[in-house]
Copies of this chain bind each other. A is one copy, B any other.
Amino acid sequence: MKNEEIQLASRPEGLPDEHTFRFVSTEMPAPKENEILVKSLYLSVDPYMRGRMREGKSYAAPYSIDQVITGGVVGEVVESKSSNFQKGDIVTGMLNWARYQTVQEGIVQKVNPSLAPISTNLGVLGMPGATAYFGLMDIGQPKEGETVVVSGAAGAVGMLVGQIAKIQGARVVGIAGSQEKIDYLVNELNFDVAINYKDADFKSKLADACSNGVDVYFENVGGEISDEVFKHLNTHARIPVCGAISSYNNKELDLGPRVQTILIKNRALMKGFLVSDYANRFPEGIKQLAAWIMAGKLKYEETIIDGFENTPEAFLGLFKGTNLGKLLVKVADPSQSS
């Protein structure tokens, strides 16, 4: 039986394409002492991974050329030489983009599959959930009656941010890129307003939606959309800077209006963060998110692309904005035993 992995074939300039990735057939690995053999069930594709395809240190080490790509994975233990894991256990961790892999026992966490669909460990109960929760609650600190704007609002993080802000009593304005997403945000998630940034009258719609100003802007996209939001900041506005997906594939320097005078005028705060900054508070965040889901206050959405062979295409979909909610690749079904 053969295994297969996806390597970084070359560093993309601009948008990644078919030359960026390489599928490589490998031998099926065998676990050593204290290792487990994990069969991948779901792979996570996330915007931050584009940064790791660049040379030079960003906040995470860059991927190496001709080496397997790593990311969030949910898998099943199919063979265990660890006393901590049994065959059939569902695990999650930062693992290889491979159909099978051996893993040291300390690298993955066990997942309780009876709590929620196991894929949620890559979404609402995983990194995107914690990102939304800590970025909004710790940096954004929305208060009742305030206006919270979130860009990338129909993405994995954005739709959680908006709903958490609603739970806090804020008025929520979402920005997304299709009528379908806009409808979903308003009709399904009860956002107060949702605006399509591709509309010709985006600026005036945003101005209308923010006639009381913007108290929190949860930044996922950067670029001209954000330049426009910045015009509406209120005094003491907070801007958790989570991502800037519009710029990740830029070949040129990303130029826009400098923010200093805007920040002074509004005594506004802008703070970049990574979910890993809150690693020691993860359990608190995940517990709260799970409680809101149980209470019917928080919905999540997944866009699942079927097939390991479609992983590169799924990744590219992030930058085309085709996904609603968390974008995942389903590699395999769990065994009947689990």
Contact = CB atoms under 8 A, between A and B. Distances in A.
Interface in A235-269: 241-244, 247, 253-269
Interface string A182-226: 000000000000000000000000000000000000010011001
A262 B51 CA distance: 12
A188 to B, nearest CB: 29
Nearest to A243: B264
Interface string A257-284: 1111111111111111110010000000
A234 to B, nearest CB: 12
A5 to B, nearest CB: 28
A241 B265 contact: no
A149 to B, nearest CB: 15
Chain A, interface SS category: mixed
Contact of A268 (B242, B243, B265, B272): B272
Contact of A247 (B244, B254, B260): B260
A109 interface: no
Contact of A273 (B222, B257, B267): B267
Contacts of A241: 260, 263-264
B277 A267 contact: yes
A267 B272 contact: yes
* A247, A254, A259, A273 — most chain B CB neighbours (10 Å): A259
Nearest to A248: B261
A222 B260 contact: yes
Given A267-B273, A267-B274, A271-B263, A258 B222 contact: yes
Contacts of A247: 258, 260-261
Nearest to A235: B59
A264 B248 CA distance: 12
A259 to B, nearest CB: 6
A223 B258 contact: yes
A26 interface: no
Contact of A222 (B222, B261, B267): B261
| Top-4 shortest CB links A-B | A263-B272, A264-B272, A244-B260, A256-B258
Given A244-B261, A247-B258, A265-B272, 8 more contacts: A223-B258, A226-B258, A241-B260, A247-B260, A255-B257, A262-B272, A267-B277, A269-B270
